[in-house]
Homo-oligomer: A and B are copies of this chain.
Amino acid sequence: MKRAELVSQIRAKGTYLCVGLDTDPVKIPEFLHHENDPVFEFNKAIIDATLPYCVGYKINTAFYEAQGLKGWESMEKTVNYIPGSHFRIADAKRGDIGNTSTHYANAFLKVLPFDAITIAPYMGEDSVKPFLQFDGKWAIVLGLTSNPGAADFELKELNGGERVYENVIRTVAGWGSTDSLMFVVGATQADEFINLRRIAPNHFFLVPGVGAQGGSLAEISKKAMNGDVGILVNSSREIIFASSGKDFAEAAGLKAKGYAEEMKNYLDI
């Protein structure tokens, strides 16, 4: 999906919500367990219920890989079920030497129909560039993450005063355009957003960590939006596990609707 289409979807629907399909099989409602593929049945119902309130879905590959072959199959079925009107993110945190990254890029952006994949930047330019070779596809590179471990390396200060994550965002921004690169910035890092917009004024940020991890939607929206909206805010557990009963999909839809209604207030439309 190209940037212009993503922005127009956001404006048309009045939402920049991304629903995270962190589908942990042990949290799926009991009554789905007799299905042949409970993970896919769960995801299908969640997608059907949340489609009007979001512009994208983020599939956290770890939850699928933990189920082995069966999990990989559930993931394939899920990404193929999401309609092309919605932005499909593989939250896979890949990145390796160039030759290997090329294979990861093929895996997610060609073999599977994802629009984007999250990338760990540690190994530098040749580990990121293979993900930038596909028209209308995106690399979403880790900038400043939402977890406590962000303090260990990302927030360390480099010689000259710049912090590691600032240097990462500034450097990586030079490797691709705002049509193929986004950055992950955790919602728990709201204090950093104004500074971040100085470094990368025009890029989209994928913002996880709202909800279960504690970030505030109002604060992020105020500090991080740019002229093209420029943020996709992800919520996973809080939406998809809103209820563990027969009404799980309806409850997820309501939660997503709540986010979308709040977002409408922050959008200048």
Residues of A in contact with B (beta carbons under 8 Å apart): 22, 24, 60, 62-63, 65-69, 71-73, 76, 91, 93-98, 100-101, 103-104, 106-108, 111-112, 120-128, 142, 145-154, 156-159, 161, 164, 167-168, 171, 213
Interface centre among A67, A94, A97, A98 (most CB of B within 10 A): A97
- The one of B24, B123, B150 in contact with A145, judged by C-beta atoms closer than 8 angstroms, is B123
- Min Cβ gap A167→B in Å is 7
Contact across chains for B127 and A62 when beta carbons are under 8 A apart: no
- Min Cβ gap A172→B in Å is 9
- Min Cβ gap A108→B in Å is 8
Contact across chains for A104 and B159 when beta carbons are under 8 A apart: no
Assembly stoichiometry (copies) = 2
Contact across chains for A127 and B100 when beta carbons are under 8 A apart: no
Contact across chains for A149 and B164 when beta carbons are under 8 A apart: no
Contact across chains for B103 and A62 when beta carbons are under 8 A apart: yes
Contact across chains for B127 and A149 when beta carbons are under 8 A apart: yes
Q: List 23 A-B contacts (CB under 8 A).
A: A22-B100, A60-B100, A60-B103, A65-B104, A66-B104, A67-B111, A69-B72, A69-B73, A93-B95, A97-B146, A120-B120, A120-B123, A123-B147, A124-B148, A124-B152, A126-B147, A126-B148, A127-B147, A153-B164, A153-B168, A158-B158, A159-B159, A164-B164
Q: In the bound complex, how far is the Cα of B61 from the Cα of A94, in angstroms?
A: 10
Contact across chains for B120 and A149 when beta carbons are under 8 A apart: no
Contact across chains for B152 and A107 when beta carbons are under 8 A apart: no
- The one of B66, B97, B123 in contact with A107, judged by C-beta atoms closer than 8 angstroms, is B66
Given contacts A65-B103, A96-B93, contact A142 B123 (CB under 8 A): yes
Q: In the bound complex, how far is the Cα of B67 from the Cα of A149, in angstroms?
A: 33
Contact across chains for B100 and A123 when beta carbons are under 8 A apart: no
Contact across chains for B158 and A156 when beta carbons are under 8 A apart: yes
Given contacts A68-B111, A157-B158, contact A151 B124 (CB under 8 A): yes
Q: In the bound complex, how far is the Cα of B74 from the Cα of A13, in angstroms?
A: 42
Contact across chains for B103 and A63 when beta carbons are under 8 A apart: yes
Contact across chains for A62 and B101 when beta carbons are under 8 A apart: yes
Q: In the bound complex, how far is the Cα of B124 from the Cα of A230, in angstroms?
A: 27
Contact across chains for B103 and A66 when beta carbons are under 8 A apart: yes
Q: Could you say which residues of chain B place their CB within 8 Å of the CB of A148?
A: 124-126
